[in-house]
Amino acid sequence: MLFRWWKNRRRRKILAEPFPAAWQAALVRKVGHYHVLSDAERDRLRRAVQIMIAEKTWEGCRGLELTDEMRVTIAALMAILILGFDDFYFDNVETILVYPDEYRVRQESGLGPATIVEDSERLGEAQYRGPVLLAWNDVEEHASFPGYAENLVFHEFAHKLDLLNGAFDGTPNLQSDELAARWARVMNVEWRRLQRAERAHRHTLLDPYGASDPAEFFAVTTECFFDAPHDMREVYPELYELFRDYYRQDPARWPPFIPAS
């Protein structure tokens, strides 16, 4: 109770400060989604940006000098996901690590008695009870030029929403038993559908990477829902309605995207 009072007091103090003009310019210049939001949504987004920039630890990695423009761009994309939620600002994320581009991760895997060590290149990662890692070049491209059902920030922070129930299982915290029942049915049907398409090498609106497991399916569907909503509503109407009810947003009502810069 005391912690919540203190957190709300701190956030009121953050929001009492005017939104910086340079941050507003960054939204207009770098974030394509900002241009399709209503005035009320833009106001909620700016408030979320202020809170998340203040509350998170932001670190540039591998020599990247992290600027306010980078923070604002990333925080704005994070905010898109939570515009329909009340008083939630990715409280399960403390640190955001930003690399200039792809980074390498050393992985160990077992094959019988042998252990294989190999490096893999990644653009992003949402660690369990850890930070979110992002490659800035990919973030910047898809922030400025939305509409291709691809967005690294949407993908990795969808994983953090998924983790609110304690597991990477493709099922975030759901608001009702009715939604949970629909979620189990629709997600299973559409995930299997994507798997069949991937095995047959058929092109799909959803990234075929989502066929790998339910957690990745939730993440790539989130990308599509916010970055290609009109196409998703047409191609996957039941899946679109499910995500509309979960996120409490209807992005298919947005006008078509235009480049931010």
Predicted model pTM: 0.93
Instruction: Identify the pLDDT of residue 24.
Output: 98
Nearest to 164 by CA among 222, 227, 220, 215: 215
Instruction: Identify the pLDDT of residue 258.
Output: 82
CA distance 60 to 131: 13
Cβ(210)–Cβ(216) under 8 Å? yes
Instruction: Identify the pLDDT of residue 30.
Output: 97
CA distances 66 to 60, 74, 99, Å, are 5, 11, 9
Task: Please write the tens of the pLDDT for every residue from 202-259.
Answer: 999 999 999 999 999 999 999 999 999 999 999 999 999 999 999 999 999 999 998 7
Cβ(156)–Cβ(124) under 8 Å? yes
Token reading at 116 = 């294989």
Instruction: Identify the pLDDT of residue 6.
Output: 84
Instruction: Identify the pLDDT of residue 260.
Output: 67
Nearest to 205 by CA among 147, 252, 141: 147
Residues of the chain with pLDDT under 70: 1-2, 106-119, 260-261
Nearest to 151 by CA among 159, 161, 141, 160: 141
